[in-house]
Amino acid sequence: MNIENPTHILRLALLFTVTLSVTGAHFVLGTETHGMHVIHVFLRSLYLLVIIASSVWFGLKGGLISSLAISFLFGFHILISWADRPMENVNQAAMIVVYFIVGSVSGLLVQLQNREKEARLETERKAQREALIQGFGILSDALKARDEYTRQHSENVARLAVEIGNGRGLDETQLDDLRLAALVHDIGKIGVRDDILFKEDKLSPEEMDAMHHHPSVAAEILKPIKGADRIAEIVLAHHECPDGTGYPKGLRADEIPEEAKILSVADVYCALTEDRPYKDGMSSEEALEIVHSMAGKKLELKAVAELGEIVEEKRSQGVS
């Protein structure tokens, strides 16, 4: 029950209003005539609507709390207004028992229904995720056919990004999104001409501009895939920088998705340490020194710090 939710607040206000109105009517109306007695029977039945509504809106907890509150109010009314009616008191006491039964049963039924709904949604999410992974596998194979290095680089980045994400406290869904985003973060390079993509010399400003379009191309490839919206956002932002000098949008620190900040750090570190046909990869010490020099401006500080801890731990274990 989230009392900060506007809908929940409105529902609580409605339940309180109806409960207090029915209770007030109980105390205001007399009990002398048969007609009044009929009205009181109708009013105490209205409490059931409040209990059922509480169960539907707030589950078992709502059903039990409302039945307890109504039983207290109705019981107080019995003591004040019906003290000399022992036969009617039996009916009224039975009604209090009914309140608890209705609150418990309706709450349990709603709770079971919600669990079944959650189970169905989880099954659908898993099926969607499996389809997403298969689709990304096809994209990855397409990238491999175009550029084997980029495919291997993406796998390295995915492993390191998940390690950093774990250290940064990302939850399971975020880690899964991060891993998938890392695997396809350079898929947009499919749209870059071969003479630019495989050029070993420094790129010209025009060629660099063409390369800078690959995050946008990747995002456009991913967006039509059902369930890939968040992954597309991460991929689109993985070349953004905290100081706003990144591309394609020039986002600043807090505007960049957390997963994209981590992906960016892993991407840079892996690019520095991997061998290419035209260069040997740096040592972890050299690469880490460069990454640290970029922290706070080009790369996010906390992600860089986590990378440093991971590299140091591997170094102490003799892992390169």
- Mutual angle of helices 214-222 and 229-236, in 10-degree steps: 180
Residue 43 predicted with pLDDT over 80:
yes
- Least confident range of 55-64, 84-93, 235-244: 84-93
Residue 77 predicted with pLDDT over 90:
no
Residue 194 predicted with pLDDT over 90:
no
Higher pLDDT, 99 or 88: 99
* Helices and strands, counts by H and E, the chain: 12, 0
- Least confident range of 11-25, 30-44, 45-59, 72-86: 72-86
Q: Which residues pair with 276 in a beta bridge?
A: 279
Q: Which residues pair with 114 in a beta bridge?
A: none
Distance CA 217, CA 191 (A): 7
Q: Which of 34-48, 179-193, 262-276 has the highest mean pLDDT?
A: 262-276
For the segment 31-55, the average pLDDT, to the nearest whole number, is 85
Distance CA 307, CA 163 (A): 8
Residue pointed to by tokens 């009205």: 39
How confident is residue 160, by pLDDT bands cut at 50, 70 and 90? very high
Q: Token pair for residue 26?
A: 């109980």
Cis peptide preceding 248, ω within 30 of 0: yes
Higher pLDDT, 255 or 141: 255
Residue 1 predicted with pLDDT over 60:
no
Higher pLDDT, 127 or 98: 98
Q: What does the pLDDT read at residue 83?
A: 63
Distance CA 178, CA 234 (A): 8
Tell how far CA 2 is from the center of its chain. Answer: 17
Structural domain spans, the chain = 6-120, 147-316
Distance CA 199, CA 269 (A): 21
Q: What average pLDDT does the chain have?
A: 86
How confident is residue 315, by pLDDT bands cut at 50, 70 and 90? confident
Q: Token pair for residue 257?
A: 């998705």
Distance CA 320, CA 314 (A): 7
pTM: 0.64
CB of 178 within 8 A of CB of 165? yes
Q: Which residues pair with 295 in a beta bridge?
A: 299
Tell how far CA 95 is from the center of its chain. Answer: 43
**Among positive and negative, which fits the CA dihedral 37, 12, 72, 110?**
positive
How confident is residue 235, by pLDDT bands cut at 50, 70 and 90? very high
CB of 184 within 8 A of CB of 139? yes
Phi/psi for 279 (5° steps) reads: -160, 150
Q: What does the pLDDT read at residue 191?
A: 78
pLDDT in tens, 101-126: 999 999 899 999 989 998 998 888 77
How confident is residue 128, by pLDDT bands cut at 50, 70 and 90? confident
The matching CATH number, chosen from 1.10.357.10, 3.40.50.880, 3.40.1160.10, 1.10.3210.10, for 147-316 is: 1.10.3210.10
Q: What does the pLDDT read at residue 298?
A: 95
Residue 156 predicted with pLDDT over 90:
yes
